[in-house]
Amino acid sequence: MACNLSEDRKYERDSVKPSGLRVDGGESQEQLSASTTTTSKQNGDQAGCEDEQMTEQDACERRRSGLSDLKGCSTSPSPLLRSAEEWPRKTFQIPRKIKERKGLLQQIMPESWEFEELFKLLSSSYLDASSRGAFTYTKACLIHNELLEKEYIEKKRELKQAGRTDAELTDSYAFLLPDAKKTRWICEKGLSVGHARINNLGNPSKGIYLSKYSDLLQMNPFEAGASGDIIIFKVMKGRLKSIFENMPKSNLELVPKFDCHMHKNASKVTSLLSYRAFELTQQYFYEFAFEELRTRPRHVCPYAVVSFQYKGKEAATAAHRLNSGVYEGHRGWRRYTVWSGPLVNRGEELYHVCIRSPNPLSAIQTSGQN
């Protein structure tokens, strides 16, 4: 028994090596451990390569992401700017310029450009050049009447569409010496029919009369110290009809195809004291609305009001200044005005007449007696 136990112990000692591994036939435990170690190393090297490859890919991706971030930073606004843009914007509306509403009468100063233009307009419309020193203009107002101005433009458009010529559509100016109480009314409402007392160009109840010259505003000459207001009208004469002296009244009837009547001999009036100078130089305006006449022609629009003062000499002296130096008659005699004044019949003033003489002394003596 003891011997068998000792042999068994010996066999176990021989079968166990110092490495502590047991060999069971084919492959030794050491080889197994070596192969395992080799396999583990190979696996470790493969894992290391994979880690290196993954690290390089991560770096590339990081670099790409870094470049994209840089591009995004260069193109996209900063957070501060972005937050500022994201703020709610207040809508700002440019305020409309309110058109200043002008009054009916706009007074202009004597040193202004507008006053100078009105003075040129009046002085260029004198019949006699000597009137330049006889009138003093003290006050002027421009008339702003939107309704009448729009109607004036509308009338011009209608005439243009009807095929009227440029000459018929040309703007010109005419003048009126109104009653002082009616000046503002005319500026506000316009000039209506029925204001005139003469009828040589047409029925005054169907049309209006205006003066062609700014120094010939009434039948009688102005006396020294006379004053008043002149209303300047902007007018379109349109199609003219010439009126002859002693024309039958049937020819004075108004026809829709005309817009204005003027006397044929108006151009022959050369002096303020000429026979019927005031009547012959008048202009007569009217307008048809279908088959009826308008009470206020639209092609006549008030433009300005000018206050004046006449500072001329006595009528005889003014007539002497106007007519002296003018040769009349086939003999070439010099004629001087001896006397001038109205011709009255039964209290009604008919015409303005004057007496002329070739002797200047008689004119001076007569004027001294007046």
Q: Average pLDDT over the chain, rounded to whole? A: 76
- Under the banding of pLDDT at 50, 70 and 90, the label for residue 247 is confident
Q: What are phi and psi of 55, to 5 degrees?
A: -65, -40
- Better-predicted residue by pLDDT, 144 or 319: 144
| Number of neighbouring beta carbons within 10 Å of residue 193 | 21
Q: Which two tokens stand for residue 120?
A: 């040129």
Distance CA 218, CA 255 (A): 28
What's the CATH code, domain 105-312? 3.90.228.10
pTM > 0.85? no
Q: In this predicted structure, what is the pLDDT of residue 290?
A: 84
Distances in Å between the Cα of 23 and the Cα atoms of 6, 33, 243 are 21, 12, 156
| pLDDT tens, position by position, 347-361 | 665 556 667 666 555
What percent of the chain has pLDDT above 90? 47
Distances in Å between the Cα of 234 and the Cα atoms of 173, 229, 305, 329, 358 are 5, 16, 12, 39, 42
Distance CA 196, CA 279 (A): 11
Q: Write out the residue limits of the CATH 3.90.228.10 domain(s) in the chain.
A: 105-312
Q: In this predicted structure, what is the pLDDT of residue 251?
A: 80
Nearest to 28 by CA among 38, 37, 17, 39: 17
- Under the banding of pLDDT at 50, 70 and 90, the label for residue 25 is very low
- Better-predicted residue by pLDDT, 220 or 249: 220
| pLDDT tens, position by position, 76-133 | 555 555 555 555 566 666 666 555 556 899 999 999 999 999 999 999 999 998 898 8
Q: Which two tokens stand for residue 41?
A: 């190393």
CB distance 231 to 302 below 8 Å = yes
HSE-CB of 172 using CA atoms within 13 angstroms: 19
Q: Which two tokens stand for residue 259?
A: 């817009």
- Checking if the pLDDT of 30 tops 50, the result is no
Average pLDDT of span 143-156: 97
Cβ partners under 8 Å of residue 59, min gap 6: none
Place of tokens 């206020």: 296
